[in-house]
């Protein structure tokens, strides 16, 4: 499936699910004064992040993406949360961030034999993805002070999905999307239900409970989970550096919660 069409289909379907859930479980409707913030969240966390991330990966390398995004988002989110929301960064969290970042780097570099050459533009797009997701995390905390996670996520998707659909319509490779095999459609269904609807709502629910900075730290688990799934489902090799890096990540998470 072409990337723009895949992203657009994923979020269009997820937005439809959000709309149904909001009808079944109606919550507090956003006021007109708060709509600009929700629109901004959608443009930042749905539109901009996905375009930056997927095009960044296509121009850079998977290793660089796994180093730049998961390692940087928690740090940037914690700093923004401290500056914008007044959340405190304890010494334990700072050490935990550094420790978990070291674990992510160990997993990525050790499992691929080094970072290798990469396209500078791709890396810059990945940095843009980091900034956009950090802003989505911190500004979402502001919206979550007044509205439940489902409401915030739903309206953010209402705003962020249409630009992705436009990008797909402008992509000449989009017709190939409809010729994808059944297994690709099954994977798309998984992305819609679990990686978008469930994940987005739970992520904002976590932010509401523990704060933006602390919630972002859990993104360090992404590379660990990726290694486990790659070994189990794709038969990729498991290196000692993977295990060492996983220990650093888990240890860093524990410290960062203090």
pLDDT of residue 110: 66
Residue 108 pLDDT > 70, yes or no?
no
pLDDT of residue 216: 74
Residue 172 is part of which domain span? 3-252
In a domain, 258, yes or no: no
The backbone region for 211, taken as left when phi is positive above 0, alpha when psi lies in -120 to 50, beta otherwise, is: left
The total number of structural domains that make up the chain: 1
In a domain, 25, yes or no: yes
Mean pLDDT highest for which of 1-15, 119-133, 234-248?
1-15
pTM higher than 0.85: no
Residue 6 pLDDT > 60, yes or no?
yes
In a domain, 257, yes or no: no
């Amino acid at each position: 499936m072409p990337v723009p069409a895949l992203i657009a289909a994923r979020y269009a379907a997820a937005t439809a699910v959000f709309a149904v859930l909001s009808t079944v479980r109606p919550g507090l409707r956003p006021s007109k004064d708060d709509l600009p913030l929700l629109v901004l969240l959608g443009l930042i966390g749905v539109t901009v992040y996905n375009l930056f991330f997927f095009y960044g990966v296509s121009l850079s390398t998977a290793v660089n993406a796994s180093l730049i995004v998961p390692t940087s988002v928690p740090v940037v989110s914690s700093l923004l949360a401290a500056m914008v929301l007044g959340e405190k960064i304890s010494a334990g969290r700072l050490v935990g961030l550094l420790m978990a970042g070291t674990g992510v780097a160990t997993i990525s570099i050790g499992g691929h034999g080094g970072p290798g050459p990469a396209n500078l533009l791709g890396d810059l797009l990945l940095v843009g993805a980091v900034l956009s997701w950090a802003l989505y995390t911190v500004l979402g905390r502001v919206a979550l002070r007044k509205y439940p996670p489902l409401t915030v996520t739903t309206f953010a998707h209402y705003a962020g999905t249409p630009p992705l659909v436009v990008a797909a319509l402008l992509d000449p490779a989009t017709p190939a999307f409809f010729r994808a095999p059944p297994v690709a459609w099954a994977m798309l269904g998984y992305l819609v239900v679990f990686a978008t609807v469930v994940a987005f709502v739970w992520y904002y629910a976590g932010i509401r409970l523990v704060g933006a900075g602390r919630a972002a730290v859990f993104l360090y688990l992404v590379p660990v989970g990726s290694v486990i799934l790659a070994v189990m489902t794709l038969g990729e090799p498991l290196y000692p550096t993977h295990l060492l890096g996983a220990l650093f990540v888990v240890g860093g998470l524990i410290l960062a919660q203090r």
